[in-house]
Chain A
Amino acid sequence: MALVLTEEQQMLRDAARGFLDEKAPVSALRKLRDANDETGFSRDLWKEMAEMGWAGILVGEDYGGADFGFVGAGVLAEEMGRTLTASPFLSTSILAATALQKLGGEAQRQEHLPKISTGEAVFALAVDEARKHGPQKTAMKAEKHGNGFKLSGDKTFVADGQVADNIIVAARTAGAPGDAEGITLFLIDAAAKGISRERTVMVDSRGAARLKFDGVDATGDDVLGEVDGGLASLEGVLNAGRAGLAAEMSGAAQAAFTMTMDYLKERKQFGIEIGSFQALQHRAAHLYSEIELMKSVTLKALQDLDEHYGMAGIICSLAKAKAGEVAKLASQEAVQMHGGIGMTDEFDIGFYMKRIRVAQEMFGDAAFHADRLAAMRGY
């Protein structure tokens, strides 16, 4: 498959860009932050996005979705990255939709997927328990109890966990933390007894939460995929999230880069545009090259998810690692090349630096994925 967007995908991108520039510029995120908004995103905006088919971009047509594939989802994530649009797109439309499409039983799909497509239901994926990503280290217990399970443990860094209607949570039905086997995914109503959530105000002003499960009841019907399905089925869902985050970071990095190039052409010191200084030109040209590499790996990861979902792990690690590093570089260079104004809250660049920091940490930072790639390649 050619490593370019199809005409349809390009049209989606252009439409998304037009819409987001108008409806969800960075100032919208700023407003949410300044209002200390509890939801973390605008429900009205999310509804509009759902009406355009974005919320159900990965959902099959039988369930009211657009069935546009991972490349389509990546196109949207990238455009939302450009404007730093706050929405439950990652948590609900990528992670939960992938989990339900790939692992869900027919009843679960029928119950949940249409609500994802319409934007009615918000989901969250709760995996990590410690400060660094490590799905294999899952310790949260799901103990057999009668016909069902009792879930106990803590989860952290749960995107949109503060408002989610449903939570997909990874827990241990067997084995010990560190084992690849014995992990099971549950789909739980967020209002279930025993769940308490603490909204965590994050550096990027996006919604996230710490969750506490205290003997939460789950039945066999709440299991997503198979009991003891293990890391493998969870990794598939995480891979989709990683590729989505890579796409979002790619968009954010490109936007920060464009702002910086504009500034280099406009700001004057010593009587000339600062962009005429070779010290800055070479750094800009280097960053341009890195951004081109990031675009290539991100697109490849999304294409591979569409074409060989089960084998896309290594390429998703590649994309997440590369995008994380490049986007960080882009945000750092952006601040530095703007000088003092780059450090001000009034100016937008800081928002990019903050979101990129969070996105590169989520579901594994560059070091995590470099190590994962090395392991997969036998060293």
Chain B
Amino acid sequence: MSDLETFRKDTRAWLEENCPAEMRDGAGGEDNICWGGRNWQFQSEAQKTWLDRMAEKGWTVPAWPKEYGGGGLSKEEVKILKSEMRDMKARSPLESFGIWMLGPALLKYGTHEQKLHFLPPITRGEIRWCQGYSEPNAGSDLASLQCKCEDKGDHWLVNGQKVWTSYADESDWIFCLVRTDPKATKHNGISFLLIDMAAQGVSTKPIKLISGKSPFCETFFDDVKVPKEHAPGIGSIVGDLNRGWDVAKYLLTHEREMISAGGGGLFGGRGMGEIAASEIGLEAGRLADPMLRGKIAQAEIDGWAFLLTLERMKDEAKAGQGVGANSSMLKYYGTEFNKRRFELLMDSGGSEALEWEGERTQDGKLARSWLRTKANSIEGGTSEVQLNIIAKRILQLPGA
């Protein structure tokens, strides 16, 4: 047996033994995610057990190095672990901005001490991070951000406002883009700063979304003192002073890849056609609404082609061939596709999909999810911004 086959066998056995039955329902979606953090209320005992066991093995972040709380697995091993988890419909034990965004940025730009200090609590779901990029006047033009950060000798003094900060009110720490040199050109005076949300002067105000939920906030910094070192030898700035834009951009490519993968939910669960068939019914073996059938078939073709493209891009990266800016292409296509998918699910659901409250629809679960997907093509950089990036970086069109 090859090493990988042995690994698969051992992994399957371990998962069988350790994944609680309640965590094997394949449930995904924002409502079922275990986000972790100091304020986290576990939804069940099983959710906690599952997290603890996986964290112990380093498998909440299987690809990260062991010394920082990861599993130290190779790409092939990670693929096997994921596929085994999918096969038994195991839920993800932990998801967070720490895992998706800050972790990769720290692994690339952080010092060894910063990694040792900040990464393990992320892997165990102890500290939850949020992302302080956008400001009221800096959205797509992120580099025009103004949140002020002054050097006060032993500490930084932060004043300003962030907006659309997802889960700021539930998070323990925030990674933030701040302006440390107001005189430099706009990309050259930005630093990447880590701030404890419990610090004096940090406050948040939830904003309600069209889905009726309030997952994001305005975040205010009023004379917030951020120590230059959070602990001896642990700097509060990641990367070099005034070079935060490099870190920010690198992090965004990970954010985009993560968001685009959301479009892939397609063939994991039930397909759109299968759902529509059970809701609308079949006539002579075919979906009773032929126009909808056609639209769904077209969408399934695009969705499937997109999944294969995610796979190909991964394989190309492994073979050292890929194009870096393709994360923008995947972000653009995946999110636009996901919106289209939910439009079709709403079409199939008909009037029942429009119920907003009540048990029958789990308080309008589909309708709320449908509305939530509209943000996919805005958050992490809008579709238009991704198209700009493709035009400039990949197609090298002039003046872009």
Q: Which residues of A contact B (CB under 8 A)?
A: 2-4, 261, 264-265, 272-273, 275-276, 278, 280-282, 284-286, 288-289, 292-297, 299-300, 318, 321-322, 367, 370-371, 373-375, 377-379
Contact = CB atoms under 8 A, between A and B. Distances in A.
Contact of B387 (A275, A285, A371, A375): A285
Nearest to B397: A275
A interface, by DSSP: helix, strand, loop or mixed?
A: helix
Interface residues of B, number: 46
Given A261-B395, A286-B387, A370-B294, A296 B286 contact: no
In the A-B complex, the 10 residue pairs with the closest CB atoms = A276-B399, A379-B273, A285-B390, A281-B391, A370-B297, A296-B308, A293-B305, A275-B397, A3-B312, A374-B297
Given A289-B329, A379-B277, 19 more contacts: A4-B315, A273-B397, A273-B398, A276-B398, A278-B388, A281-B387, A282-B384, A282-B388, A285-B394, A288-B329, A297-B305, A367-B294, A370-B297, A373-B300, A377-B300, A378-B273, A379-B276, A379-B296, A379-B297
A374 B399 contact: no
Contact of A276 (B273, B293, B301, B400): B400
8 contacts: A276-B399, A282-B384, A285-B386, A292-B309, A293-B305, A374-B293, A377-B271, A379-B296
B395 A284 contact: yes
Contacts of A289: 329, 332-333, 390
Contacts of B293: 374, 379
A281 B397 contact: yes
B318 interface: yes
Contacts of B271: 377
B304 interface: yes
B360 to A, nearest CB: 24
Interface in B298-327: 298, 300-302, 304-306, 308-309, 311-312, 315-316, 318-319, 321, 326
B interface, by DSSP: helix, strand, loop or mixed?
A: helix
B287 interface: yes
Contacts of A367: 294
A183 B177 CA distance: 68
B87 to A, nearest CB: 19
Contacts of B387: 281-282, 285-286
A3 B386 CA distance: 25
A4 B317 CA distance: 10
B4 interface: no
Contacts of B312: 3-4, 295-296, 299
Contact of B301 (A3, A292, A318, A375): A318
B21 interface: no
B274 interface: yes
B199 interface: no
A379 B388 CA distance: 38
Contact of A4 (B282, B316, B332): B316
Given A289-B333, A377-B274, A276 B397 contact: yes
B275 to A, nearest CB: 9
A308 to B, nearest CB: 16
